[in-house]
């Protein structure tokens, strides 16, 4: 897509530190890493949302992302990784070409997800939410 920075990276029109490429996906270093070695895996085809990426490509993104995660775990100071994907502005998506973050992690890296917990009031409230999601889920 014209004016999409990640389409331009995948096409080689904008420089990036390439980690991996095949016919479906492209992986490169994030320019502002949480830790050095932070990688982004993108579909070569432009998709704003992960939800429209064809299943074979989305599967390749996850496969390549987790294999890159294993490579990161072999590096000095890292023994773990996070996969992260922000879909939509409210979720923190800034670049509107879907991308999977692969973030190397180490016990002393001083990075903490700001992960909160909002408990359900009771079992009925929890089941009402589960029921609503099931009713809105269309996988075809
Ligand atoms: P998100 O907030 O999930 O949309 O993440 C977008 C990511 O893209 C951020 O972590 C940025 O640092 C990264 N980014 C933006 N422009 C570039 C670029 N030209 N090369 C590499 N990474 C980039
Ligand atoms: Zn794009």
Give yes or no for a contact between 99 and 42, defined as CB atoms under 8 angstroms apart. Answer: yes
Under DSSP, the state recorded for 101 is: E
Per-residue model confidence as pLDDT tens digits over 115-131:
889 999 999 999 999 99
Q: Domains in the chain: how many in total? A: 1
> What's the predicted TM-score (pTM) here?
0.96
At residue 86, the pLDDT reads 98
Q: Answer yes or no: is pLDDT of 63 > 90.
A: yes
Residues in Cβ contact with 68 at an 8 Å cutoff, skipping those fewer than 6 apart: 19, 20, 27, 39, 41, 102
Ligand 2: centre distance to CA 45 (Å): 7
What SS3 state is found at 104? Answer: strand
Ligand 1: centre distance to CA 31 (Å): 6
At residue 53, the pLDDT reads 98
Per-residue model confidence as pLDDT tens digits over 25-39:
999 999 999 999 999
Q: Which CATH number does the domain housing residue 51 bear?
A: 3.30.428.10
Position 124 in a domain: no
Position 122 in a domain: no
Residue nearest to atom 13 of ligand 1 (CA): 30
Position 139 in a domain: no
| Token digits of residue 125 | 């409230």
Position 76 in a domain: yes
* φ and ψ at residue 6, rounded to 5 degrees: -75, -30
Range of the domain at 52: 5-114
Q: Answer yes or no: is pLDDT of 140 > 80.
A: no
């Amino acid at each position: 897509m014209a004016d999409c920075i990640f389409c331009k990276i995948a096409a080689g029109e904008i420089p990036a530190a390439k980690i991996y490429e095949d016919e479906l996906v492209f992986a490169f270093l994030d320019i502002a890493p949480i830790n050095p070695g932070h990688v982004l895996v993108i579909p070569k085809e432009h998709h704003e949302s992960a939800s429209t990426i064809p299943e074979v490509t989305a599967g390749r993104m996850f496969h390549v992302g987790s294999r890159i995660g294993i490579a990161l775990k072999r590096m000095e100071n890292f023994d773990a990784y996070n996969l992260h994907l922000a879909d939509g502005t409210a979720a923190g998506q800034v670049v509107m070409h879907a991308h999977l973050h692969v973030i190397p992690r180490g016990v002393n890296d001083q990075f903490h997800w700001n992960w909160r917990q909002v408990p359900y009031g009771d079992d009925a409230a929890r089941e009402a939410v589960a029921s609503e999601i099931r009713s809105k889920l269309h996988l075809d």
